[in-house]
Structure 1
Amino acid sequence: MTPITTFFRNLESKCCAACGQVMSEQAESYMTECFSCQDLATRDAYLYYHTKK
């Protein structure tokens, strides 16, 4: 069985699912997109919602 410290030390860098940028959040975080991509998606959703007729 692998020691827990070895497991966490060997984790790969976490990357954004949308743009591929390396994320600085902790590996156990549930985030899959960087803040820039989240802001862009939020802006697009806001504009889509408010331009619907």
Structure 2
Amino acid sequence: MWDYYKLAPRVKKYKNVVGVAEGDAKVNVIKAALEGGYLDILITDESTAKKILKE
């Protein structure tokens, strides 16, 4: 099992972090990762992208 509290600070040290996620259930998590500076690149579907930008 991943210990996300230990992993999160390490992720910010990488030069390029790519996230791949889609779906209504992931919108809040994707937004939090983007706003928190954990992702440099996001790969998602059009529907999810519109919901992220809308909120």
Same fold (TM over 0.5): no
For normalisation by structure 1, the TM-score amounts to 0.22
From the two aligned structures, give the one with the greater helix fraction.
Answer: 2
Which structure features the higher share of strand residues?
Answer: 2
**Greater RCO structure (CA 8 Å; 6+ sep):** 2
